Structure 1
């Protein structure tokens, strides 16, 4: 009997320790981890610099609440602002909370209520972020959703251009859809959103919860597209596994989040800030980001070369070290065989294998992953019969 609600389809793996790009289970089996805690452990498991930063803070103070000055918040916020188009930061504990803050800020600042998002998007599981998510499978069973959310097809420029009305507070988008299949946004599509927001006097919100903090080879993925969002949300990679989320906003929004308008008891606590501070010191280094970009290009090209002739493979796409391999069949059997052979990967929808290695992954580790992917997909291709 378990004392936990069965809200997760857990793997039959109990992790005993983790280091770098590897996990070790209680039976002594070693796994090459291309899940990274779902794009969280961007510096690999248990990075020493982050561990030391948290340990140092543990000896000082753990929690005081936001009724007090917390200098580390200012330090981390400064780093986020200096590497983005934003001017101020609100700290939370997760990506869902960061997106919740963005939705509230957009409505409060504009005085309008409708939020436009996109089909197959994923923005979280709180009530508002669940309503913002464009996937019925995660919404079913929870009754009426929060009102005034509307969904458009992703990468559909004409759908964006056709938007009308004076009731739209914001358009919210992932520049690469993660849970929705690792689908990069088209530059013309994202530019059309930015232009439509200006036309409608709405805010442009970019959800960088999965794509931010170096994952795509830039500090933030929106930088690939020459766009300038009003609000950026982040979490996952920000704390190297320590729970932390953040919302970055431009200067003209600051007055709309005045004292008492929004809050989080644990948001920006000293331990989370110590983790984020050390994480950003490494990831926001230009040479580090360049290495991520180069690794991503190499890995994607190797996968294309090894898998292009496999009948099971439909597409290979992504940015940086966020790569999706779309199959012509359900991915679960392939993921199971990969796991049995020591490689951990994720699904992104029913037919996409999602690869999210640590940003510190080595060429040798990537070569091993490519070999395992190619051999396992080939075996499954042998028995694949197109319908």
Structure 2
């Protein structure tokens, strides 16, 4: 049997990893500035993470959500403390797409409406409603296209209000910082206006923090810089440091009832152990503070490369925009300098999404490689 061929693969086979480094089957060491799509938050094979998951799986790896799971209660408590999102409720699932799927479904239940507003260059997942709210027709099948989604320009407040006036929109979903779309972030005024309009028109504001959340920007959630209170916050990726886990935080104005949402694997004992390990390490090692310090250093280094025309994003969610397409440069970084980086919808953009443990000396290695290739 062959694999269903949907991924263009680099000719690299990782076999082990430690902190910010990945090692292949030939013994080569790679500096990981991509974190497996922003998933690796506290570093590969972190000892706390390995210890806690190993101990948990030796006791109980999984049972269904039909029984008490104190780890879920502990995770909700720890999340409230570290995020500052007081009085929200937690629903756990398995991935970012599933988190957004449940967020959209819950918004529709809550408002009894069905249309969704999303924004151009958005990416919210590959499942039914989530992919319909993703601005990429190539991955939207006809069965997904039945969803009623209105795509608007980022920061176009007038069109948002116009679309809300028919009172048919259940949710506005927005990435605080767009990931695949190219690291764009709107103004504080725009996010605050969205919140005001959602409250005015009985519409749920969903903050998609799947890529930019869990400390990646230096704040726990990226929306917190803008002083808004979303009704639902979706999260995944860095939440489990590689273990499949996702979830939504739900504002207390949205009420639960038995059977409203459900999942088989979501919130299992191993997933909770992984997420709790991430939170423990974020706090103990002050990784959000590290992100702020090292990202400031990155910004200074970018000024030494004239071919970088713009730096987008913040923290460890950065897009370096060059004055040329970067596909060839990215391959040279991988194969000749052994550095992983990411691409985006913008062909001139190199995405930098490293583990939050990345240090200045690792950044120096990256910029030395860039200078060698661009001289």
* TM-score bracket for the superposition, by shorter chain length: over 0.9
Distance change >3 Å, CA 135–CA 316, structure 1 → 2: same
- Structure 2 residue matching 1:253: 3-state secondary structure: coil
8 Å CA contact 2:42, 2:355 repeated in 1: yes
8 Å CA contact 1:115, 1:172 repeated in 2: yes
8 Å CA contact 1:208, 1:220 repeated in 2: yes
- Structure 1 residue matching 2:170: 3-state secondary structure: strand
Residue 344 of structure 2: which of 343, 348, 361 is its match?
A: 348
Distance between the aligned counterparts of 2:273 and 2:174, measured in 1? 29
Q: Any runs of at least 4 consecutive aligned residues in structure 1 with deviations exceeding 6 A, and if so which?
A: none
- Structure 1 residue matching 2:59: 3-state secondary structure: coil
- Structure 2 residue matching 1:260: 3-state secondary structure: coil
Match of 1:174 in 2: 175
Length-normalised TM-score, structure 2: 0.95
Quote the offset at 1:285 in angstroms: 5.6
Which structure 2 segments of 5+ residues have no match? none
Q: Does 226-235 or 323-332 show the bigger shift?
A: 323-332
- Structure 2 residue matching 1:63: 3-state secondary structure: coil
1:233-289, CA deviations, whole angstroms, 9 ceiling, x for partnerless residues? 00000111100001000112133xx11121110000000100101111122469432
Match of 1:131 in 2: 132
Match of 1:20 in 2: 19
Distance between the aligned counterparts of 1:106 and 1:143, measured in 2? 21
8 Å CA contact 2:118, 2:152 repeated in 1: yes
Match of 2:299 in 1: 300
Which structure 1 segments of 5+ residues have no match? 380-387
Residue 371 of structure 2: which of 367, 371, 374 is its match?
A: 374
Equivalent residues in 2 for 1:2-13 (5 A)? 3-13=2-12
8 Å CA contact 1:84, 1:220 repeated in 2: no
Quote the offset at 1:143 in angstroms: 5.0
Distance change >3 Å, CA 217–CA 373, structure 1 → 2: same
Quote the offset at 1:339 in angstroms: 0.7
8 Å CA contact 2:129, 2:144 repeated in 1: no
Match of 2:91 in 1: 90
Equivalent residues in 2 for 1:355-366 (5 A)? 355-366=352-363
Quote the offset at 1:290 in angstroms: 1.8
Match of 1:383 in 2: none
Equivalent residues in 2 for 1:98-109 (5 A)? 98-109=99-110
Aligned length: 370
Quote the offset at 1:186 in angstroms: 1.7
Distance change >3 Å, CA 117–CA 203, structure 1 → 2: same
Q: Does 125-134 or 321-330 show the bigger shift?
A: 321-330
Quote the offset at 1:301 in angstroms: 2.3
Quote the offset at 1:193 in angstroms: 1.0
Distance between the aligned counterparts of 2:281 and 2:221, measured in 1? 15
8 Å CA contact 1:184, 1:319 repeated in 2: no
- Structure 2 residue matching 1:254: 3-state secondary structure: coil
Length-normalised TM-score, structure 1: 0.92
8 Å CA contact 1:219, 1:283 repeated in 2: no
Match of 1:317 in 2: 312
2:204 matched to 1:208?
A: no
Q: Does 362-371 or 286-295 show the bigger shift?
A: 286-295
Distance between the aligned counterparts of 2:208 and 2:283, measured in 1? 19
Quote the offset at 1:13 in angstroms: 0.3
Distance between the aligned counterparts of 1:364 and 1:144, measured in 2? 46
Distance between the aligned counterparts of 1:30 and 1:250, measured in 2? 44
Distance between the aligned counterparts of 2:20 and 2:84, measured in 1? 28
Distance between the aligned counterparts of 2:138 and 2:369, measured in 1? 31
Match of 1:337 in 2: 332
1:321-344, CA deviations, whole angstroms, 9 ceiling, x for partnerless residues? 111012333221110011121111
Distance between the aligned counterparts of 1:188 and 1:161, measured in 2? 15
Distance between the aligned counterparts of 1:249 and 1:196, measured in 2? 19
Match of 2:30 in 1: 31
- Structure 1 residue matching 2:300: 3-state secondary structure: helix
Distance between the aligned counterparts of 2:340 and 2:8, measured in 1? 15
Distance between the aligned counterparts of 1:299 and 1:184, measured in 2? 19
1:291-338, CA deviations, whole angstroms, 9 ceiling, x for partnerless residues? 2112112212211x122x22xx33212110111012333221110011
Q: Does 163-172 or 243-252 show the bigger shift?
A: 163-172
8 Å CA contact 2:117, 2:169 repeated in 1: yes
Match of 2:249 in 1: 248
